[in-house]
Each structure stands twice: as C-alpha cells, then as structure tokens.
Amino acid sequence: MASPENSTKIDLSGSCLCNNLKYHILLDSKDDARTTLCHCGHCKKAFGGAFGLTSKVPLDAFRYKRDSGKPTVHAGDNGFGNTVYREFCHKCGCCICEYGEQARLHFRYVALGSLDDPSTLPPKGEFYCSQRESWMPEIPGKVAQFVKM
C-alpha cells in the first residue's frame, strides 16, 4: 500500500561551514533520529559551546555526498574511559559528527547545527544534566534526562 507520495521518508542535508564536507541523512521517519543535548565537559570543548547538540541516526542512514571532501577524524578519551571519534573539516574546523567505540559501526551522532535545517529534529533528551551551565534553563517540554551516554 505504501506509495512514494505517502512515504514519511525524509532526506536531510548538511555541510560544514565552508562547504568542503557535505552529507545527507535518509531516514524512514523522524523517529529514527534522536536529538540530545550533552552538558559534559568534553562536548563543551569539542563544540566550543555550552553543550553538545547531536542527533543520533543509524550509520547506514548517514552518507557523505559524492562531491564532498574527506573528514579528518579525532579520536580521544571522553573522560570516562571510552574512545570518542569526531569527524570534522580540516579547513574550517566544523564538527560534522561523533561516535563512541561501541556506536562506531552502528550509529552517527550528527552535530545538529551542521544540518541545513536543524529545526527538523528537535531535542528528545539531555545527558549529564548535573553539568548544565547554571544560567541555562531546562529544555521546555520535559525531554528525557539521561545519566550517561
């Protein structure tokens, strides 16, 4: 019964700031993506902001476009004994995605701000709320709060 017209499949595109890296995400539905904030110290450093904001998508839904440059990968301990990989543009420094060792072959945590339309995937949860900046209010709508990734 499913026809392309009725399909909920969504095709999202994104890039780094200088457009060297370009990707798209093909999801069966928005439910396949889970956007979360992370208040941990490593996300603050990695993203240069008050929190990390990524959307978890299946690895096979994420693909660099044919005319995209190659990402540079940084691997480092996340402070809790797990290796986290971050793919970024060596030209402009923009982070495209990250993933831990266990997620490496299954998921990508895409930096939400690198999407052409970040409003498509609003947050569903928060990590490390104990490290939320004191001036920052909770996300309205009572998203789930997780203790660790």
CB of 106 to Zn ion, least distance (A): 18
Interaction with Zn ion in 101-130: which residues (CB under 5 A)? none
Using CB under 5 A as the binding rule, whether residue 70 contacts Zn ion is answered as no
Q: Is 65 an interacting residue with respect to Zn ion (CB under 5 A)?
A: no
Largest CA distance in the chain: 51
Distance CA 70, CA 57 (A): 20
Region 32-51 residues binding Zn ion, contact defined as CB under 5 A: 38, 40, 43
Q: Which stretch binds Zn ion (CB under 5 A): 24-32, 81-89, 99-107, 130-138?
A: 81-89
| Residue 91 contacts Zn ion per CB under 5 A | yes
18 binds Zn ion (CB under 5 A): yes
- In the complex, what is the shortest distance from the CB of residue 28 to Zn ion, in angstroms, rounded to a whole number? 27
Per rule CB under 5 A, is residue 16 in the interface with Zn ion?
yes
What residues make contact with Zn ion under the rule CB under 5 A? 16, 18, 20, 38, 40, 43, 52, 89, 91-92
